[in-house]
């Protein structure tokens, strides 16, 4: 499966599946929790409210811009009949994804673990010096930890957050 990010609906991402067969579902909605729902792309995009269309490439403009005659021609043969293959040059420079939902589920699980870790720590606004466990905040907003395990957990959380920022296009 090959899919390209074609837009969004609220916080959900809308993908067009480039190599879908005729009369099969040619789109997917990937929710923030990582679950993917496969859809008929044009039917869904026509009915959904607040669809933000991505027109950042030649292919996406061809996909979204209405043809003069939607029942015949190159656009109809490419997206409805699926008899005309999509030109490789049109997909140059685009991020083509081969899996939907799997990576996002893993990132969501890591994010949940980070939130759980952060929720177990003391409030950042409270100054705790010489107390029993927890994060300690000094006068200059520099945090230190009582144990090596807490430091290791914080370091892992920071690395996962950086990965989430770098992989935001997943």
- Boundary-marking domain end, from 97, 129, 157: 97
Shared domain check, 157 and 83: no
Shared domain check, 112 and 54: no
Shared domain check, 29 and 93: yes
Shared domain check, 93 and 122: no
Shared domain check, 107 and 82: no
DSSP 3-state of 90: helix
- Boundary-marking domain end, from 66, 97, 128: 97
Shared domain check, 151 and 74: no
Shared domain check, 74 and 156: no
Shared domain check, 144 and 60: no
- Domain count of the chain? 2
- Boundary-marking domain end, from 53, 71, 97: 97
| Verdict on whether the full-model pTM lies above 0.85 | no
Shared domain check, 137 and 93: no
**In which element (H, E) is residue 154 found?**
helix 148-166
Residues 17 and 28 sit within 8 Å (Cβ to Cβ): yes
Shared domain check, 109 and 84: no
Shared domain check, 132 and 81: no
DSSP 3-state of 116: helix
- Could you give the count of Cα atoms lying within 13 Å of 153 in the half-sphere of its Cβ? 19
Q: Which domain holds residue 158?
A: 102-166
Shared domain check, 77 and 17: yes
Q: What is the pLDDT along the chain (170 residues), one digit of tens a residue?
A: 888 899 999 888 999 998 888 888 999 998 888 888 899 988 888 888 889 998 888 888 888 887 877 778 888 888 888 888 888 888 887 888 888 776 555 666 666 777 777 776 544 444 444 444 555 544 555 556 667 788 788 888 888 888 887 776 54
Burial grade of 170 (CB within 10 A; 0-12, 13-18, 19 or more): buried
């Amino acid at each position: 499966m090959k899919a390209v990010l074609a837009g969004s609906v609220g916080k959900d991402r809308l993908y067009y599946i480039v190599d879908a067969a005729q009369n099969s579902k040619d789109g997917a909605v990937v929710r923030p929790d990582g679950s993917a729902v496969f859809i008929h792309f044009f039917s869904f995009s026509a009915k959904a409210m607040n669809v933000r269309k991505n027109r950042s490439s030649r292919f996406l403009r061809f996909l979204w811009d209405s043809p003069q005659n939607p029942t015949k021609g190159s656009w109809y043969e490419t997206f409805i009949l699926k008899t005309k293959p999509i030109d490789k040059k049109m997909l140059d420079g685009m991020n083509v994804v081969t899996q939907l939902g799997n990576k996002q589920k893993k990132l969501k699980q890591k994010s949940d673990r980070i939130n759980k870790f952060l929720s177990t720590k003391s409030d950042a606004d409270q100054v705790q010096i010489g107390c029993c466990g927890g994060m300690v905040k000094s006068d200059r907003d520099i945090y230190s930890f009582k144990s090596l395990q807490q430091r290791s957990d914080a370091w892992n959380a920071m690395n996962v957050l950086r990965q989430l920022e770098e992989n935001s296009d997943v």
